[in-house]
Copies of this chain bind each other. A is one copy, B any other.
């Protein structure tokens, strides 16, 4: 199986598990698990395909992805009570999914347009959009707004992949470099609380106090 296809299945599967873990945190029923697993698992790739005009999107032309999401939802439904901390597992799996998907999104963007700038953005957007959607639908505080490095990791991964490809690295090497770079950055942020400096301005006031 080609490397990009493996990455795609891996990204879908782990994001699907994070969606199901969110469903568990919200005490939904089994269909709720499968629904959030599916939306999270296929959300990023769907956005990528729609932006690039690669429609019908990937899971319409290959419904195996839907089976993967369904299986992930059911597996979490049956086992979530065994987990000590679902949120911690959620963010670590989200880190794995983000690492796989930033390379996958960059590769598809590069293939479709040849532009490294577009590749970095499609990589970043598709790696983060599944999680954004999951948090919005589940009513969780968005992982985007947490202080630890998040979007940066996706950008580093898609940037390293795009750079390595531009330097002539074979697909499998460039992919490995991109995935590892993204995971090291995001994993370090989770483990050691890595942050980048915020701007020098303080927090915003409530809109009603300003208008």
Q: What is the minimal beta-carbon distance from A153 to any residue of chain B, in angstroms? A: 9
Task: Give the number of times this chain occurs in the complex, counting copies.
Answer: 3
User: Known interface pairs A118-B66, A145-B138, A207-B146. Does A31 touch B201 (Cβ–Cβ under 8 Å)?
Assistant: no
- Chain B residues lying within 8 Å of A198, measured Cβ to Cβ, are 27-29
Whether the Cβ atoms of B141 and A145 lie closer than 8 Å is no
A137-159 toward B: CB 8 Å interface, digit per residue (1/0)? Answer: 11111101110110110010000
Whether the Cβ atoms of B51 and A53 lie closer than 8 Å is no
Whether the Cβ atoms of B151 and A35 lie closer than 8 Å is yes
User: Known interface pairs A53-B56, A205-B87. Does A152 touch B31 (Cβ–Cβ under 8 Å)?
Assistant: yes
Q: Is A83 close to B, CB under 8 A?
A: yes
Total residues of chain A contacting the partner, CB 8 A: 79
Q: What is the minimal beta-carbon distance from A90 to any residue of chain B, in angstroms? A: 9
Whether the Cβ atoms of B63 and A117 lie closer than 8 Å is yes
Provide the main secondary structure of the chain A interface.
Answer: helix
A165-203 toward B: CB 8 Å interface, digit per residue (1/0)? Answer: 000000000000000000000000010000111111111
Whether the Cβ atoms of B88 and A210 lie closer than 8 Å is yes
- Chain B residues lying within 8 Å of A200, measured Cβ to Cβ, are 80-81
Whether the Cβ atoms of B60 and A118 lie closer than 8 Å is yes
Q: What is the minimal beta-carbon distance from A77 to any residue of chain B, in angstroms? A: 5
- Chain B residues lying within 8 Å of A122, measured Cβ to Cβ, are 60
Known pairs A29-B196, A88-B211; list 6 more (Cβ under 8 Å): A27-B203, A29-B152, A59-B121, A63-B117, A83-B201, A190-B211
Q: Which chain B residue shows the least CB distance to A63?
A: B117
